[in-house]
Amino acid sequence: MTESIWPRPFTAEELQERFGGTLAGHLDIRITEVGPDYLKATMPATEKVFQPMGLVHGGANVALAETVGSVAANMLVDREKYACVGQEINANHVRGVRQGTVTAIAKPAYVGRTSQVWDIRLYDDNNKLTCISRLTMAVIKVQQQ
C-alpha cells in the first residue's frame, strides 16, 4: 500500500466546502476521493460546460484540472503560513467528451519549498484518457494581518 503524502487526513466533504460561490461550484466540480498520493474530482459533461460542437469545452477541462491540482497543492502546505497559487497550466485535449462525467486525478510530479508541479489526467466514463494537464503552483507566504 502507498504511504500517504498528506500531512493530515482530509475528507472529500471537507475539501468540497471551499467551493461555494466559486467557478468550481458553478461548474458542479466535486471532490470525490482523497487517495494516499492523489486527489480525484469530477465534473458533469452537460450543456453548461459544452462548446458549440457539443463537446466539453477545453477551458472547462482546464478549470477542472486547475481546481483539483490547486486543492491538492494546498493540502500539502501549512495554510496558516503558506498558500499555493497557480503559476502556469497547460493541457493536451486528446479525446472529446459529449456526455457523462469527466474525472480528474491529480498526482504530484514535484513538491518543493517554493513550487509544486502536478500531473492531472482527465478521463471519461469509459476510463478513456481525454486530457493531460500539467499545473505549476507557486508556494507563497500568507500575509499576516
In the residue annotation, 66 being an active-site residue is answered as: yes
Q: Provide the whole-model pTM.
A: 0.95
In a domain, 65, yes or no: yes
Q: What average pLDDT does this structure show over 70-87? A: 97
* CATH (domain of 74): 3.10.129.10
The pLDDT tens digits of the residues spanning 106-120 come to 999 999 999 999 999
Domain count, the chain: 1
pLDDT at res. 135: 98
Q: Which of 14, 33, 66, 88 is catalytic?
A: 66
Burial class (CB in 10 A: 0-12, 13-18, 19+), 118: buried
